[in-house]
Structure 1
Amino acid sequence: MRNRFRPPPLGASRPTLLPGVSRRTLLHGAAGSAALLAAGGALAACGTKGAQQTEAGCVSEDLSGTEKTLAFSNWPQYLDVDEADESKRPTLDAFQTKSGIQVTYTEDINDNNEFFGKVQNQLAACQSTGRDIIVLTDWMAARVIRLGWVQKLDKAKLPNVEKNLLASLRGRSFDPNNEYALPWQSGLSGLAYNGSVTKEIRTVDELLTRPDLKGKVTALSEMRDTMGLLLQSNGHDPAKFTDAQFDDALAKLQKAVDSGQIRRFTGNDYAPDLAKGDVAACIGWSGDVIQLSAENDKIQFVAPDSGVMLFSDNMEVPNKATHKGNAEALIDYYYDPAVAAQVAAYVNYICPVEGAQAEMEKIDPELAANPLIFPDAALLAKAKVFMALTDAQERAYEGKFQQVIGA
């Protein structure tokens, strides 16, 4: 998803947010065009013989009963760290002590498409990737499920998940029974503005048309976030829309580009510009705004009445992973509310675990009250997960979107 910026120890002042490479968006510019072409090639390959797998045709052996090990691949700075000794990861260390399972934790996922390129040949050929847990953003998680490249989880071994997974993250279109992908952390895409340089903004239409914002607006180069918000602003459901509805929303975006309203399309590198006031308002991610608002409380995240987009990075067990039982033990451990609160206190994303907010109050009451970490029912009711796309839809929609944003 997007790059994480490490917060300081609780109680300490937070540093100014620094620019980084987005992990939710396709690379843009010349590199972005190459990434898009590579993604298109990978998608085309998805339809070739041998790429698609089935549970019966690609059987995985679980050695968890005799091998107390686990290989876990995640995004950088996405797990709590002991600030006094950064070699220590308190919740992970506690899991290893409690379970006797030794975890090799690797921060080797920096971009969804890049990581897909690393593992696609092995998974397409029903071979091991050397990983027991991988963490992928919704749309990529949906792709590997569609390809049959991940193992079905045993719900009997996931009592904490069954009890504590947030209702808003159950029954998603790409995994309706919650048996292949479970959220590690989640976030919101909405509007943000810097009240030091502009008045409050409440709607997507304001962002795209208000004269005083002309040339001072950015939008995200991640198609699902920007187009999801525009679909909602037109009264359409981003979880279930038609080609015509997508085209209507895209026309609205094109008009804002042509008029000069939108300054540029960004990954999370909009954040420093928003902090400085060079960007007055934007489409942005909740995690960025939490950190920016700690330095300047006039920087605000806005959930438009038309709705916000909800995204997750999801834990999945790839085919041929030989420690599925150990992986399920770790996944369930992180759905313990007390453990989930420790992680949320560090990463500042939406915690997907019911009951973690009460535990967070014991750690940091201010964070426990933050609606961008623990959204209330009213906010979650306005949140949508972008529709799962077929390979053909993904190519078509991304192609149209890239043309409009000039990537």
Structure 2
Amino acid sequence: METLKIAFFCWESLGSTFKVGGLAPATTHLAENMARKGHEVHFFTRGDGPGDALIDGVHYHYCLPFGDNIVDYCRTMSNMLVDAFRAHDTPPFDILHFHDWHLVEAMHLLRDKNTVLSYHSTEYGRHGGNFGGWWEFQEISGKEWYGGYIAKAVTTVSNSTKTEVMWLYNVPGWKVTVIPNGIDPDAYRIPVDPGEVKKHYGIHPLAPVVLFVGRLTYQKGADLLLQAIPRILAKRWDVQFLFAGTGDMRGYLESAANGLPVQFLGYVADEEHNRLLNACDLVVIPSRNEPFGLVLTEAWSAERCVVATEVGGLAENIDNYVNGIKVPVRPDSIAWGICHLIDDPAYMQRLGRAGRRKVLEKFRWSVVTERMLGVYEKLLSGGPR
């Protein structure tokens, strides 16, 4: 493929101080890997640094939006980043790649270009598969529909998300390509002394540790894991639980966890995140809705065994009893999955090793980047429009 000039539009990145969730690493690492292949990649995003920066081969262009609510804020961001884009559109960009709904208004203004929209999730999914009644839900869902309508090509992170956007927004199947999120597995497999890490948190070195990593929101199901804990302790009294992440359910969860062997760690920096992954005995992903689930590939990269609810990308990617355990979205089922594994360290290690093998085969950035470039090539050669 000839060298392309590519514009990424995303409201968060690792190249700025604005990082909310998995969208930042997913888009940043994709941009970096495209730049390593010799393409000229520009990343239009929020940031409180200088207007422009070159980081790991990617050209960043920042703005500082404002607004009384999330919809107004994203409208301002779209207008500001379109101005920044036009200042760098000579020679013209070959591909404009938009990530999620936040910059759909920018895509509207630039809809005559070769535009790609990636759905990393939907507003419906972010609310755990519920239809919201408040006005922001309706506005955001409308933008997700319009983005799928005007984009020349669409990608989703899983087949379940493809089905979701086809069902919710009538995006035609021929327009959608499924491309999972990528990962650098070696970044997550680090040597640690599990006993020392556990002692740091006041846990006995031999006590089994169950780790939850994610936003403390309804979608991510931390409350389901919490409700499962008494059932787990009835079988194995010494299991300890670490919850890493922040979110609007934290206060409720902390109150509900009173008297249980649970610690809420809040935001955890990347280095400590990796230490926890490599020191824990089991990672649990109890989501009610999960388009892909970066925590899954991170845990597998660290050769950790996973118990996850059978939803979305988790259901698609886990081979049951081969590289993880899939359970229904219920506290008693989550408890059963954990209890099924917790007394058999050799079994958990075997599942974790199988998970890492799957990451190496399917989710490495070299594989994912080539697949995304294939979407661009098809669009430039007169494919889906």
Smaller-chain TM-score bracket: 0.3 to 0.5
Greater relative contact order, per chain length (Cα 8 Å cut-off, separation 6+): 1
Q: What is the TM-score with the length of structure 1 in the denominator?
A: 0.32
Q: What is the TM-score with the length of structure 2 in the denominator?
A: 0.34
Q: Which has the higher helix share?
A: 2
